[in-house]
């Protein structure tokens, strides 16, 4: 028997082969050299399985390079959202505006006035940032920003109703995805949940008869991801106000998504803005920063000075405090809302939701034409998209999609493994790329990824 180890090529020889030289044109040299070493090492350990031809050797090296780069890739990766769901919680909800990103860069790269008062040269408060803008944009007396809306709700209830009852309609026991239920989060605040009414109908008298000496607050939770229809009845905040006044109880309104301006001009109607919720008489309104507001993850608390200063001095506020990057992004996002038309254009979530049928169609035809030219038999079809993240749950937004030919599972798994990954949707056995959440400036990249997934 001959010593088959002799048959193994040297590392230098492999680096000179055409296949590996081609790899070196796009990949860092140290990465390729170490892949060549690994492949030769493995062949030495298992000579029977060693590649037989030069081509097979360079294929093995290429596979090794791919595996190593996948391991080295960061875990939080960029995704092109072709699902048609604009505020997709699993894909990070709202994309940030240019203004917000610039602010993050400016503030994150150095030191800031996070807790420093430049006028006095003394310690300042992190809570002053965003507060005046929020007051201006919503008419609230006072405002506080925490980590997210769930934290805002816990902080509000822990401050206002610790050890006492928070009265909530059975029609508002909302589960918000990831199997978290708003009322279960609330109970951890130390407030006792007092459910009233029936699933479909709750009356003012139900709230009234639940109130006693142990009541701390009345609670309204926005039905953010479902709708009740048929024989239904509930009580508006406006109608709860006289009852709350009589018993000197605060009304806490969890708006969830939280609009700052009306979106009726882009066809989204029927949810209250933060200003409207406050005007209706809520003592405290809580909402998310990264849903329809279109900013970073944050919980925004609006309401009367006496309630909010009590929340600020609650030790829990410390554990829910936000980072400077969040404050920078939120402040810049809020500033855009001073001009509502600019917000509709420049806040990405709003711009995507407001895209016209012809814009969506032109994104789709551009994509299809490029794919057709690359030999992929894609077609343009009508589709429906949605807002997502618990806002306008019943609204279906007409959209346009590109349907890819052939095996849907193969497409979706290949598109997911690219960089950036593309996450689409499957309908009737076809892989679809919905154009609603793909901005114009991402179309070329989308086309490139689809062609790469096809090869």
Ligand X SMILES: *Cc1c(COP(=O)(O)O)cnc(C)c1O
Binding site residues, ligand X, CB under 6 A: 148-150, 174, 176, 182, 221-222, 224, 254, 256-257, 288, 299, 390
User: Given the complex with ligand X, which of 80 and 263 has the nearer CB atom?
Assistant: 263
Q: Looking at residue 109, what DSSP letter applies?
A: T
Looking only at the bridges linking them, the beta strands covering 379-388 and 215-221 are unpaired
User: Given the complex with ligand X, which of 35 and 145 has the nearer CB atom?
Assistant: 145
Give the shortest CB-46-to-ligand X separation in angstroms. 51
User: Given the complex with ligand X, which of 222 and 436 has the nearer CB atom?
Assistant: 222
Tell me if the bond preceding 420 is cis, omega within 30° of 0.
Answer: yes
Give the shortest CB-225-to-ligand X separation in angstroms. 7
Give the shortest CB-182-to-ligand X separation in angstroms. 5
Phi-psi region of 317 (alpha: psi -120 to 50; beta: other; left: phi over 0): alpha
Q: Nearest to ligand X by Cβ — which residue?
A: 256
Q: What is the dihedral of CA 329, 330, 332, 338, to 10 degrees?
A: 160
Residues with Cβ within 8 Å of residue 314, at least 6 apart in sequence: 155, 158, 159
How far is residue 391's CA from residue 353's CA, in Å, rounded to a whole number? 12
Give the shortest CB-269-to-ligand X separation in angstroms. 18
Q: What are phi and psi of 223, to 5 degrees?
A: -75, 85
Give the shortest CB-298-to-ligand X separation in angstroms. 7
Q: Looking at residue 6, what DSSP letter applies?
A: G
Q: Which helix (DSSP H) or strand (DSSP E) does residue 253 occupy?
A: strand 251-256
Give the shortest CB-181-to-ligand X separation in angstroms. 10
Residues with Cβ within 8 Å of residue 36, at least 6 apart in sequence: 11, 14, 15, 20, 61
Alpha carbon separation from 114 to 96, 97, 179, 276 (Å, rounded): 21, 21, 35, 31
Give the shortest CB-305-to-ligand X separation in angstroms. 24
User: Given the complex with ligand X, which of 215 and 257 has the nearer CB atom?
Assistant: 257
Q: Could you tell me how far CA 207 lies from the centroid of its own chain?
A: 35
User: Given the complex with ligand X, which of 167 and 378 has the nearer CB atom?
Assistant: 167
User: Given the complex with ligand X, which of 219 and 378 has the nearer CB atom?
Assistant: 219
Give the shortest CB-199-to-ligand X separation in angstroms. 17
Q: Which helix (DSSP H) or strand (DSSP E) does residue 365 occupy?
A: helix 357-373
How far is residue 167's CA from residue 425's CA, in Å, rounded to a whole number? 40
User: Given the complex with ligand X, which of 144 and 453 has the nearer CB atom?
Assistant: 144
């Amino acid at each position: 028997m001959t010593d088959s180890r002799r048959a193994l090529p040297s590392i230098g020889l492999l680096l000179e082969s055409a296949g590996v030289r081609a790899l070196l044109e796009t990949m860092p040299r140290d990465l390729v050299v170490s892949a060549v070493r690994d492949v030769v090492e493995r062949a030495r350990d298992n000579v029977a399985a060693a590649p037989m031809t030069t081509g097979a050797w360079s294929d093995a090296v290429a596979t090794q390079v791919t595996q190593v780069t996948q391991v080295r890739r960061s875990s939080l990766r960029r995704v092109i959202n072709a699902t048609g769901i604009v505020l997709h919680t699993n894909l990070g909800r709202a994309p940030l505006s240019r203004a917000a990103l610039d602010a993050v860069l400016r503030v994150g790269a150095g030191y800031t006035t996070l807790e420093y008062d430049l006028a006095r040269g003394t310690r300042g408060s992190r809570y002053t940032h965003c507060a005046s803008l929020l007051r201006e944009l919503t008419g609230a007396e006072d405002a506080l920003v925490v980590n997210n809306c769930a934290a805002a709700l816990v902080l509000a209830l822990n401050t206002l109703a610790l050890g006492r009852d928070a009265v909530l309609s059975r029609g508002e026991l909302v589960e918000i995805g990831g199997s978290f239920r708003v009322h279960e989060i609330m109970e951890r605040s130390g407030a006792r949940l007092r459910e009233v009414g029936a699933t479909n109908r709750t009356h003012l008298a139900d709230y009234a008869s639940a109130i006693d000496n142990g009541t701390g607050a009345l609670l309204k939770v926005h039905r953010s991801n479902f709708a009740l229809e048929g024989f239904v009845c509930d009580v508006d905040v406006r109608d709860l106000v006289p009852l709350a006044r009589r018993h000197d109880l605060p009304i806490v309104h969890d708006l969830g998504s939280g609009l700052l301006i009306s979106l009726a001009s882009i066809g989204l109607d029927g949810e209250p803005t933060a200003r409207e919720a406050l005007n209706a008489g809520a003592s405290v309104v809580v909402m998310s920063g990264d849903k329809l507001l279109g900013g970073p993850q944050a919980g925004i608390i609006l309401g009367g000075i006496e309630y909010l200063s009590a929340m600020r001095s609650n030790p829990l506020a410390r554990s829910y405090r936000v980072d400077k990057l969040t404050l920078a992004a939120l402040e810049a996002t809020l500033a855009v809302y001073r001009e509502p038309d600019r917000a509709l254009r420049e806040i990405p979530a709003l711009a995507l939701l407001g895209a016209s049928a012809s814009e969506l169609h032109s994104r789709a035809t551009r994509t299809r034409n490029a794919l057709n030219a690359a030999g992929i038999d894609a077609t343009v079809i009508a589709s429906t998209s949605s807002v997502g993240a618990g806002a306008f749950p019943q609204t279906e937004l007409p959209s346009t999609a590109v349907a890819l030919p052939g095996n849907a599972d193969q497409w979706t798994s290949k598109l997911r493994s690219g960089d950036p990954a593309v996450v689409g949707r499957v309908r009737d056995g076809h892989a679809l790329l919905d154009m609603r959440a793909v901005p114009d400036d991402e179309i070329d990249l989308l086309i490139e990824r689809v062609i790469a997934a096809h090869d």
